[in-house]
Amino acid sequence: MLKELPETKPGYWHGVDSPGIPGPRQLTLGGKTYYPAPGTHLKFTQQQADEMWERNELRENPNTGTMEYWVPEKDYVNLDSNWTDIPGYTFRTGYPTENSEQLLERIILAGSQPGDLVMDFYLGSGTTSAVAQKLGRRWIGCDINKGAIQTTTKRLQSIILEQVEVVKKKQNELPEIDEFQPSQYSFSVYRVNDYDLQIQHNEAVELACEHIGVQRLRSDTFFDGVHGNKLAKIIPFNHPCTPLDLEEIKRELQTRPEEERDITVVCLGKETAVDGWLEDWNRLRKQGDVPNKVDLIELRTDPRYGKFFIHQSATAKINIRRDNEKIIVEVQNFISPSIIERLKEQAGILAPQIEDWRSMVDTIMIDTAYNGDVFNIALADVPKRKNDLVEGEYELEAPESETSVAVKITDMLGEEILITQTV
């Protein structure tokens, strides 16, 4: 008794018994009874076997007389939860916990369709966004570290430039549609971290301590650090400082009768009653040898530390003009207040010297037909080596009719500006 499948169905035959979960003790097919081999069990119930028999998916092996079932070929492999067939991490950008592109590709393919939106709340080196771009997904990436933003920006610019080159080569052809068409050929970087009411307390403590110069105390369960010779307390940024916050500090000091250091309180805004509380508290300490004077730093208004919340956008002077069939773009100057401020912090009392504005610029991209919505890269100046500078002067083909030219400049901290002009 032998059953055959059409040759147009590729696959293979496999025995119906295995050392797996116990099945029926026997199967009766075509008037003949089959038993599992010693130490094995049958895989199918009698009903399942009858249905497979009707579909010509069961047969008796002509050489051994054992029962076999048909296994069609497939172009995929069933995975379990142990993905040891691909690397979990890679170190191409130097990040110690950077996931591999193979891992992110598997996750994105399994969890989304082309055109879907992929969100990465801890961007790092940008692997998730990079893979999403390659797979035709839209993406949003977030990171508080400006270095991560810069690393991701350059990585994505390189990927998009490669995709743009592929499109240019195919413009005069009629190619087959690629499996994954890019959902976008540009992206923007937005500064949204005003560190206002949305920030987590632990993160706020780290940022405020770094800005003010507070040395953290990891062993103290109440005070956040030391500011000079004073103890420092950061009031959670989800509410202004109130007398209740100060009373809590007072109760903590009462449990530390030997503590003589003064206190620096850091807050984001304060209630008007706080001034009266501080005046009464500190009046006693002016009259006698009483410790624990309390000073307050209000980050939004403090003349010394208020820059924690001040952000000035970069500015650029650009000459954009049409010269016959060419568009000439000349970046004459660029200033990034954030970079200058960062250099001032590092230089101390010495004023930073920036001899060439290009040293503050990471990349320059130009769109010669900007529609106000999507930025399509016509030219991208992305220095390949760390010490190389952008050119600053560019010549591009001009459309026949009037067009809007957009120039996007990204500075070394990952912040960008967009300047447009009609020519």
Selecting from 3.30.300.130, 2.40.70.10, 3.20.20.80, 2.60.40.10, what CATH number does the domain 315-422 have? Answer: 2.60.40.10
Calculate the dihedral angle through the C-alpha atoms of 356, 359, 363, 366, rounding to the nearest 10 degrees: -10
Calculate the average pLDDT of the chain: 82
Q: Tell me the HSE value of 324 on the side-chain side, using a 13 A CA sphere.
A: 1
Collapsing DSSP states into helix, strand and coil, what is residue 88?
A: coil
- pLDDT tens digits for range 359-379: 999 889 899 999 887 788 888
d(CA 356, CA 358): 5
- The H or E element spanning position 343 is helix 337-347
CA-atom Rg of the chain in angstroms: 34
Cα–Cα dist 27/35, whole Å: 7
How far apart are alpha carbons 147 and 152 in whole angstroms? 9
pTM: 0.47
pLDDT one-digit tens code per residue, 135-178:
999 999 998 776 677 788 888 888 988 888 887 776 656 455 45
Confidence of residue 406 (pLDDT cuts 50, 70, 90): very high
Burial (CB < 10 A; 0-12, 13-18, 19+), residue 47, is: exposed
Report which of 371, 236, 233 is spatially closest to residue 295, judged by C-alpha positions. Answer: 233
The Cα–Cα gap between 302 and 123 comes to: 32
Q: What is the pLDDT of residue 187?
A: 83
Question: Cα–chain-centroid distance for residue 406?
Answer: 26
Confidence of residue 195 (pLDDT cuts 50, 70, 90): very low
Same fold, 82-187 and 315-422: no
CA distance 111 to 324: 50
Whose tokens are 């000035």? That residue is 312
Domain map of the chain by residue range? 11-72, 82-187, 201-307, 315-422
Whether residue 249 contacts residue 267, with contact meaning beta carbons closer than 8 Å, is answered with no
Answer with the residue of higher pLDDT: 338 or 397. Answer: 397
20 close to 43: Cβ distance less than 8 angstroms: yes
Distance in angstroms (rounded) separating the CA atoms of residues 89 and 100: 5
Range with the lowest mean pLDDT among 124-128, 174-178, 238-242, 312-316?
174-178
* More confident site: 368 or 343: 368
Q: Is the domain 82-187 a CATH 3.30.565.10 member? A: no
Closest C-alpha to 275, from 303, 242, 249: 242
